[in-house]
Amino acid sequence: MSVERSEVPTDGDLVHRAKRGDEFAFGQLVERHQTASYAVALSVTGRHEDAEDAAQDSFLVALQRLNECRSPERFAGWLMTIVRNRSRNLVRRESLRHTDQVPPGVQSLVPTPDRVAETSELRGRLKEALAALPEVQRQIVLLHDLEGWKHREIADRLELPSGTVRSHLHFARKALRASLGGLPVGPDLQRKIL
Amino acid sequence: MRDEVRDEADYAGELDLDDELAQALALLDPALQDPNYWFRFRSWVLTSATAELARRRLMHQLTVGDVMSSWARGVVSTAALAAALAGLLLVRGPGAPAPQPVGVEGLIVSEVEGETMPSLIPPETNGAVAFASEIF
C-alpha cells in the first residue's frame, strides 16, 4: 500500500529547503505568510508603513535565524513571534515620530478625490476602533476576520488556549460593532470602496 | 459579567466568519487599492534575502573535504615559504660575510663626514642603556 504524498509542500518541507538556500522555497514561505505577518504587525504598530517594515524585516530575520526554528512544521507560530517582537521594537523606536498614515497604492490607482476621501474616512474610523482594542484582541480579530484563520490555528500559532482565542474574538467583535455603529457595511460598504 | 465566564462552547456558532466585519476589515488590506502590493512585498523580501540565500547555498555545497583542502592550502603554502627561506639561508654558506652587530651611536655617525660630538655615554657604562633628554 502506498501513501500518497500531498503535492503541496508543508511549511516544514519549505523550511528545510530554505535552510539550504532554496530561493523558491523561501519565496513560497513568504507568499504563504505575508498577509498574516502584515496583519499581526498592523495590530501592534497600527500604521501601514510600520507594519510593512516590521513584516518584511521579520522575514529576513527569520531567514537568518532559520536554524533556530526547532519545529519547522510550526514555522508560522515561530514567525509570528518574530513579527510581534520586531513590531514592538519598531513602535518603541519610533514612538517620537508622528506622521499620519498614507494608504499604499492611493497614488498609483489615481482614484477620484471623493472616493479617496470616503475610503480614507472609513479606514480611519476602522483604525480608531481597532486601536481601542487590546493588542491581543486586534491580532485575533485581524487573523480571523481578515486572514480567515481558524480559531485553532490562531490558538496554535499565538500559543494561546483555544477558549481564550474565542473569548477575545467575541469581545473584539462586540467592541468593533459598537465603535463602527454608523459605518456602512455589506452592500453599502462595497459600493463605497469598489 | 456573565460574558466573562462564558464557556468556550457558548461562543460556537456566533464566531463563524462575520461577513460584514470581514468586509470592513478588508479596508485594511493594502491590496485593496494596489492589486500588485503582495507581489511587490514578496519581491522586496526576496531581493533583500539574495545574499543570505546565496550564503546558505554555498554553505550547503561545501563538504568536509572542501573545508580540509582550503585549510591545507593555507598551511602548505606557508610551510613552503618558510622552507624556501630556510633553504636560502643555508645556501648562502660560510663564505658570506657574517652580519656584524653595530651600536646605535656608531650607526648614527657612520656616514657623517668630519668630527662628531663625543659620546655622551661614559665608557664605563659599557653597553648599559642610557636615556637623555633635551630641554629647550
Instruction: Take residue B87 and report the three cell numbers written for it.
Output: 633553504
Structure confidence at residue B3 (pLDDT): 45
Please tell me the predicted confidence (pLDDT) of residue A116: 61
| Residue B126 in grid coordinates | 659599557
pLDDT, tens only, A147-166? 888 888 899 888 889 889 98
| Mutate which: B18, B20, B45, B63, vs A, most A CBs within 10 A | B45
A150 Rama sector, left if φ>0, alpha if ψ -120 to 50, beta otherwise: beta
Task: State residue B74's pLDDT score.
Answer: 79
Q: Could you tell me where the beta strands, DSSP code E, fall in B18-132?
A: none
> Which of B30, B45, B54 shows the shortest C-beta gap to A59?
B45
Nearest CA in chain B to A185: B20
Query: Would residue B114 be called left, alpha or beta, if left means φ above 0 and alpha means ψ between -120 and 50 degrees?
Result: left
Q: What is the mean pLDDT of chain A?
A: 82
Is the separation of the CB atoms in B31 and A103 below 8 Å? Answer: no
Output the pTM of the full model: 0.63
Question: Which residue of A23, A146, A162 is in closest CB contact with B8?
Answer: A162
Helix (H) or strand (E) holding B56: helix B50-61
Residue A72 φ then ψ, to 5°: -55, -30
Amino acid identity, residue A82? I
Cα–Cα distance, B124 to B130 (Å, whole number): 12
Pick from A26, A60, A104: CB nearest B30: A104
Q: How far is CA B111 from the centre of its chain?
A: 46
- Which chain A residues are within 8 Å of B29, Cβ to Cβ? 35, 146
Average pLDDT estimate for A45-58:
92
Confidence of residue B131 (pLDDT cuts 50, 70, 90): low
CA angle (A17 as vertex; B71, A88 as ends), nearest 5: 100
d(CA A172, CA A168): 6
Is A107 at the interface with chain B, CB within 8 A? no
Give the pLDDT confidence of B38-76 residue by residue, as tens digits: 999 999 999 999 999 999 999 888 776 777 777 777 788
How far are the Cα atoms of A95, A180, B29, B131 from residue A123, in angstroms, in the given order?
22, 11, 10, 82
Q: Could you report the per-residue pLDDT of A6-24, keeping only the tens digit for each?
A: 588 999 999 999 999 999 9
Does A183 score more than 90 pLDDT?
Answer: no
Say how many CB pairs under 8 Å bridge A and B: 143
Q: What is the pLDDT of residues A71-116, one digit of tens each?
A: 999 999 999 999 999 999 988 887 755 544 444 544 444 445 565 6
- Residue B127 in grid coordinates: 653597553
Query: Greater confidence, B9 or B128?
Result: B128
